[in-house]
Amino acid sequence: MQIPIIGGGISGLAIALFLERLGIKNRIYEQESFAGDFPARAEVSLGVLTKPQTNVLKSINRKFGLELSPTADLTRIVFHTATARAEVRGKLGQIIIRGRDKRSLDNQLYGELASRVKFSRRMTPEQLAPHAEYVVKANGEPLSTAKTRDIRMENVLLMGDFEPETMHIWHQSRLTSQGYGYLIPFSRRVANLFLLTAKPFTRYPDNLLRELLIAVSDDLRFTPDVLRTETFKKTEGPATKAAAVNILAIGNSLGSIHPMLGLDFLLAFESAYQAAVSIAYHQNYIQRIKPLAKKINRLYLIQRKMETWSDTSFDLLLVLIAAGGTPFFNSRLDLMKIVDYALRPLPII
């Protein structure tokens, strides 16, 4: 059999590679004309969110027999709110490149692949499903939109003098409108600044970005040059539908969470692997994916709860980080379990 795969991003490339190793032919249909389905950008993998495994890329390489490499180690995170600042140091994660760049994870995977990729071909599951035993949906569009939402994302490419192992995060309601601003260095000279907003704007979005750039200049103590700005929508939401008849959803088509958390590519590899095994051995994909779907849903609920925090709540969080953040972030404690517990409503006595 030959398995059609819709989408040539991380999850589509990963399942193609896994199917190859299982002796199953496949073909990727990618609507863009290149590997990596968006302009190059820097992202992070935050080891503090995936404890006890703290080096996600190393874990992926070991589990799946790959040799993927990051651009740099993440050793410092600086948090900024309206009235407070805090930072943590240590082995916090990795900085990776995604998209159209020779160093990107997308291109590293593409270089491992023997399967054919049909670029500039937009296909739908409905077109392919009648003619295939299985169809893999890996284009980022969910099978069900019942619980999804669109977030607006501004990606600004900046030139300046950046610390290549340092990430900055801004949370101020006047700047980010129930979202976040964060900066990740692409190199010492270039960085990506992201502005994510999760609710309708109370002001013009250009004003929000302008004010964030002013805050960035003030906090970094220099004014970076803006090289390029792009705006796009991203669909995110919990994993509500993993399969429909012979169509299997993986990656962001299965479920997606906040890009700042840096977990999308981990979920892409895990879902791609489970789908490949399900196809090869005719197993129930929905059953195999249950633990991963539960993880996506848990992280998404935590994210949504944190979006409701006021500036005062984040200021308090930064006080706690300043008091004991670095030892805590570098311990083996599961931060997400602690945050999940802390965000639960108090019992009524």
Q: What is the DSSP string of 192-241?
A: EEEEEE-S--SS-HHHHHHHHHHHHHHHHTS-PEEEEEEEEEEEEB----
Q: Calculate the CA 255 to chain-centre distance.
A: 11
With tokens 């590293």, the residue in question is 108
Paired with 112 in beta bridges are: none
Predicted local distance difference test score (pLDDT) of residue 251: 92
CA distances from 298 to 189, 313, 316, 336 (A): 37, 21, 23, 9
Predicted local distance difference test score (pLDDT) of residue 326: 63
* Domains in the chain, CATH or no CATH each: 2-37+113-147+237-306 (3.50.50.60), 41-98+149-236+312-349 (3.30.9.10)
Name, in order, each residue with C-beta under 8 angstroms of 57's C-beta and a sequence gap of 6 or more. 45, 68, 69, 70, 94, 96
The model's pTM: 0.88
Token readout for 103 is: 């160093």
Token readout for 56 is: 């996600």
Positions in the chain whose pLDDT score sits under 70: 36-37, 51-52, 145-146, 176-178, 199-205, 321-349
d(CA 335, CA 177): 25
Residue 208: Cβ within 10 Å count: 22
Segment 40-69, tens digit of pLDDT: 899 998 877 776 677 888 989 998 889 999
d(CA 285, CA 133): 14
- Taking the CA atoms of residue 271, residue 277, residue 282 and residue 288 in that order, the dihedral angle to the nearest 10 degrees is -50
Predicted local distance difference test score (pLDDT) of residue 303: 78
d(CA 33, CA 111): 16
Predicted local distance difference test score (pLDDT) of residue 6: 96
Paired with 87 in beta bridges are: 78
d(CA 261, CA 201): 23
